[in-house]
Amino acid sequence: MSHVAGLGAILTAIVTPFDDDLNVDEQAFVDLMHHLAAHGSDGFVVCGTTGESSTLSDDEQMRVIELAVQNRPEGTSITAGVGVNDTRHAVHLTERATALGVDALLSVTPYYNKPNRRGIIAHYTEVAKATDKPIILYNIPSRVVIDVPNDLLAELAQIDHIEYVKQANNDNLAQVDGLGLYAGNDEIFLPTLELGGQGVISVASHLVGEEMRRMVDEPDNRAEIDASLRDVYAAMGVTTNPIPVKAALELAGHPVGALRLPLVEADEDERAQIAAVLERHGLLASAGTS
């Protein structure tokens, strides 16, 4: 299906482009997906955090997922973000995305209502009943308040269809029995590969996907490549994701529009920091790349 077994190693958490009226720009989405596939991406996580799922309506979310499935570049996988903090709603989104023909589903730990351990198990048990596709658990305590420890991840792995974890708590990074491991932050891609993990669900691969692809294909050069990309990883964190990556794509010649409130566009200082990094890597549109 992809360059490597399963869903692939470089899964880009693709942005959702908007037009001037902040409606989904369908053509820009399809064009970006094909550009990324030609530059290192094995697959796409659609309507995740980076895709601004929290400000998409259900119908918009399903339309973007449908676009991805219908227009997928050959050999790439499509993973749909379907996680919300209401179990019934999460089940509904999981059912709809499954029916659209996705390869996998990304399901984030319920946020804000702060379920306890038994509640998390009950939540994922119900979500898993709603699909026959692989589920990637998404542990990101910086956004959802709750950290899912590795012993609980191992317990969740016993539920049918729960097959992977996107680990966005760097301190928890470890192989978990029964789960394939994806780095949830670009800066832990290297140690994830060294642990034998599946790969990364990446933001930086919008810009440096070919280099990240080389980290998979050229094990002896991983450390050197990773060191050369540290400034890109940092630039994607100058403010809340996906503000920096949308600014970076514009600067690199791939306009993807603004962001829906409460997210706002990068300010002058943030854009300057991002532009400086892109210039160092020869990625600015004015430097002849697009």
pLDDT tens, position by position, 183-215: 999 999 999 999 999 999 999 999 999 999 999
pLDDT tens, position by position, 100-148: 999 999 999 999 999 999 999 999 999 999 999 999 999 999 999 999 9
- SS3 at position 163: strand
185 within a domain of the structure (yes/no): yes
Alpha helices in the chain (DSSP H): 26-37, 58-70, 87-100, 117-129, 141-144, 150-156, 189-194, 205-217, 222-235, 243-251, 268-280
Number of domains in the chain: 1
Where residue 2 falls among pLDDT bands split at 50, 70, 90?
very low
224 within a domain of the structure (yes/no): no
Give the chain's mean pLDDT.
96
- SS3 at position 140: coil
249 within a domain of the structure (yes/no): no
Q: Is 114 among the catalytic positions?
A: no
pLDDT at site 227: 98
Q: Is 124 among the catalytic positions?
A: no
From 124, 138, 182, 233, active-site residue: 138
pLDDT at site 5: 52
pLDDT tens, position by position, 64-112: 999 999 999 999 999 999 999 999 999 999 999 999 999 999 999 999 9
From 133, 164, 166, 246, active-site residue: 166
Whether the pLDDT of residue 289 is over 80: the answer is no
Whether the pLDDT of residue 177 is over 90: the answer is yes
pLDDT at site 42: 97
290 within a domain of the structure (yes/no): no
Residue range of the domain that includes 95: 10-218
Phi, psi for 37 (deg, rounded to 5)? -65, -30
pLDDT tens, position by position, 15-66: 999 999 999 999 999 999 999 999 999 999 999 999 999 999 999 999 999 9
Whether the pLDDT of residue 169 is over 60: the answer is yes
Furthest CA-CA distance within the chain? 54
| Cα–Cα nearest to 31, from 248, 263, 206 | 206
289 within a domain of the structure (yes/no): no
Mean pLDDT, range 162-185, rounded to an integer: 98
Mean pLDDT, range 163-190, rounded to an integer: 98
288 within a domain of the structure (yes/no): no
d(CA 112, CA 283): 38
209 within a domain of the structure (yes/no): yes
Report the run of H or E that residue 220 belongs to, with start and end. none
| Cα–Cα nearest to 167, from 194, 132, 124, 198 | 198
Cα-Cα-Cα-Cα dihedral sign, residues 38, 40, 46, 50: negative
CATH number at residue 99: 3.20.20.70
270 within a domain of the structure (yes/no): no
